[in-house]
Amino acid sequence: MKKIQIYALTVLFLSIFSNCTKQKSIDKEAASEKKDRNMFGHHIPRGLTVNSENLAPGYVMYAVPNSSLIYLVNRNGEVVHQWKGNYEVFHSYLLDDGSLFQAAIDPDYPIFDDAGPYGRIQKISWDSKVLWDFEYANDDHVLHHDFALMPNDHILAIAYEAKSFEDAIAGGRKPELTPKSGPWMEKIIEIDPQGSRGARIVWEWHIADHLIQDFDKSKANYGNPADHPELLDFNIKHHIPPAITQDSLDILIALDKADKNQTPYSKGSDIYHINAIHYNADLDQIVFSSPEINEIFIIDHSTSTQEAAGHQGGNSGKGGDFLYRWGNPTNYKRGDTIDRQLFYQHNVKWIENEKPGAGNLTLYNNDIPGRKDSLNYSAIFELKLPKDEKGNYILEKDRPFGPVQPSWKYIAKDTVSFYSSFISGAHRMKSGNTFINEGAKGRFFEVTPEGEVVWEFLNPYRGEIRKLNGDPVAMMPMTYWVFRATFIPADHPAFKGKELKPLDPQPDVFTLPPKEKEGEKP
């Protein structure tokens, strides 16, 4: 009897002990999952988390989420300067005199819904005076996502241009791929700022002028997309989300779960969602990125607007047609899914002169599918573009544009801990290191060519901009998000003669409410 009791007690003890250890390891896994995989990084340590000796001196510039603030943060993770505008700010580019151009999110932009439209570009002086304020937002068009600076102080900006269902059908689009509210096509405009509010649009390029389709023979742009990689197949498969009733939409808008401008059909309208643009003055070319179709494109900027609408003229002789494209050759029917390299990519840009890899492109490849037993992850790609001796992009017969593989890439050692399925960016530094913004988490870090993380800072700040009706903006899940973070070397002309001491006191960091308050509407 006694033996049985001892045996039973032993079994009980062992089972409790083993349950405890199991619980511990589950908790540990849960903790590391929280630390490594929560794409928004709600509960991970913030501020400066990795520092090293002998880093290039400099600062990180970024827009504080849900605020009108741009911060400049030093290598110790301290805020040393701020620019403050009068709208929520999306991202900014620094000028040599310490002023900046910023994308200001005008809450009043009409028609276009979804994240990305911002509506205004503003120039803000070092001491936060609004020097120029240009609105480009009406029922026909709106500035969205990114813009690029040119050496002549002009700006190249991406804008949606609304087209009707009928316009799209007239362009050979298949009706079943056409949103009833019409597609938002894309244009690039070159803005020459005038005075304190005005601008001249001195050059334009429209994607609608460079389409091909093999669906409707009666249309002028009928042809085989595989024979015309310089044009965009207007019938690339596009998922049209199901319509929603106006009553349901009204409820979602009231609950803050739908954009104020959403209509029952508009969710399918953003068919290309161009999210990045960069200008190369040496080549007089523009690169831009469409995450919806998982491709980047290069076009000639040396054309007149008239030539940009056609297929001849400019340095390339190809008018506004694509000089180069990469990422998803199925879009021009050369290759299959195995040849696809890009997955909702962002922030494509040339590596500037005097940096290692000059002339190559870098980009943030957001949402690369894992194997069948693992999660999606992000990577940074560097691409060496195939060119002949005259500088023309090489395209072999019946083959997609190269390269077959990026010349360099960064992926986290465990693959999945580096992940932001949207926004984000990267750029090469003079040292040869690469500066990365994992946007959903607001995590900025610097990696060596070998992929070692030598500096890391997680944005701990969030502002308090309210909606037009005074309601607070939901802080979840995009609590600390950052669209673009830029490393600016200490010898940048903007800092000449400026005192860059840590602000005293430092701004208050933003911490999430305690757990018990989480059920409340933030």
Ligand X SMILES: O=[N+]([O-])c1ccc(OS(=O)(=O)O)cc1
Instruction: With beta carbons less than 8 A apart as the criterion, state whether 173 and 180 touch.
Output: no
Q: How many other C-beta atoms can be found within 10 angstroms of the C-beta atom of residue 290?
A: 26
Closest approach of ligand X to the CB of residue 276, in Å: 8
Residue of this chain nearest to ligand X (CB atom):
115
Nearer residue to ligand X within complex by CB, 268 or 313: 268
CB of 159 within 8 A of CB of 175? no
- Name the minimum Å distance from CB 97 to ligand X: 29
User: Is 69 in contact with 508 (CB distance < 8 Å)?
Assistant: no
Does residue 409 contact residue 450 with C-beta atoms inside 8 Å? no
- State the nearest-atom distance from the C-beta of 28 to ligand X, in Å: 32
- Amino acid identity for residue 365 in this structure: N
If the CB atoms of residues 99 and 345 are measured against ligand X, the closer one turns out to be: 345
User: What's the token pair of residue 149?
Assistant: 């600076």
CB of 100 to ligand X, least distance (A): 19
Residue 49 beta carbon to ligand X: minimum distance, rounded to whole angstroms: 24
* Smallest separation, CB 116 to ligand X (Å): 4
Cβ neighbours around 16 below 10 Å, total: 10
Q: Which residues bind ligand X (CB under 6 A)?
A: 115-116, 145, 273, 275, 291, 346, 422-423, 478
Nearer to ligand X, 165 or 422 (CB): 422
User: Helix, strand, or coil here: 27?
Assistant: helix
Q: Which is nearer to ligand X, 72 or 423 (CB)?
A: 423
Of 124, 123, 98, give the one whose Cα is nearest residue 500.
Answer: 98
DSSP state of 208: G
Instruction: Report the C-alpha gap between 454 and 189 in whole angstroms.
Output: 39
Report d(CA 339, CA 330) in Å as an integer: 8
Please tell me the distance from the alpha carbon of residue 518 to that of residue 522, in angstroms, as a whole number.
8
Amino acid identity, position 481: W
Of 295 and 307, the one with the shorter C-beta distance to ligand X is 295
User: How far, in Å, CA of 425 to CA of 200, rounded?
Assistant: 30
The H or E element containing residue 268 is: none
User: Quick one: how far is CA 293 from the chain centroid?
Assistant: 14
Contact yes or no for 268/261 (Cβ under 8 A) = no
Measured from the CB atom, is 115 or 512 closer to ligand X?
A: 115
Q: Which is nearer to ligand X, 275 or 431 (CB)?
A: 275
Residue nearer to ligand X on the CB measure, 291 or 357: 291
* DSSP code string of 331-355: GGTSS-GGG---SS-EEEEEPPTTS
Q: How far is the CB of 80 from ligand X (least distance, A)?
A: 26
Give the shortest CB-438-to-ligand X separation in angstroms.
Answer: 13
| Residue closer to ligand X (CB basis): 408 or 419 | 419
Q: How far is the CB of 425 from ligand X (least distance, A)?
A: 9
